[in-house]
Amino acid sequence: MKDGAGVTGASDGLDGIAWNVVGHTYTPKLLSNNAFIWHAVIPAETFVPPHIHPTQDEWITVLTGELEVEFGHTKGAPSVHKAGPGDVIRMPMGEEHGIFNRSGAEATCVFGVAPSRKLFDLFGALDGVTDPEELVRLSAMHEVDFLPPPPDAQ
């Protein structure tokens, strides 16, 4: 484990880290070879474009607000699942998904992936990146494959 046994404080990130990834604030809380967990602040009317983790299972526990997760973008009309406080969203390895905050209010949540693979390094590389082509290029180098965003995402 990156920092060994102990507690990562509620407002703290590992090594004081917090990243701006696609307009969201991601604060890493736990990193080991087996899992990576981070806290996220998802502003209203923002999204993580549809993508696939071919080497990781991913999940989200919603703390505040509401998120919508869409599955199956390349299989026709995506299925939309809404999640609120206390709900857990499951995104199995290889399952395409996009995460949207269309609620009009900020959402907070805890994300996790297992195994951790290259995602921690990806977030460091993406910190502050605003160019969509660069985001897609860097992500592909770190085992995350982005799909084109749906036309109604913006």
Instruction: Identify whether 21 is part of a domain.
Output: yes
Each residue's pLDDT tens digit, 84-131? 999 999 999 999 999 999 999 999 999 999 999 999 999 999 999 999
**Amino acid 6: pLDDT:** 87
Q: How many domains does the chain have?
A: 1
CATH number of the structural domain spanning residue 66: 2.60.120.10
CA–CA dist 142, 138 (Å, integer):
7
Q: Which domain holds residue 43?
A: 14-133
* Residue 55, amino acid: T
Q: What is the model's pTM?
A: 0.91
Task: Give the pLDDT band of residue 44 (cuts 50, 70, 90).
Answer: very high
Tell me the mean pLDDT in the region 35-58. 96
**Amino acid 73: pLDDT:** 74
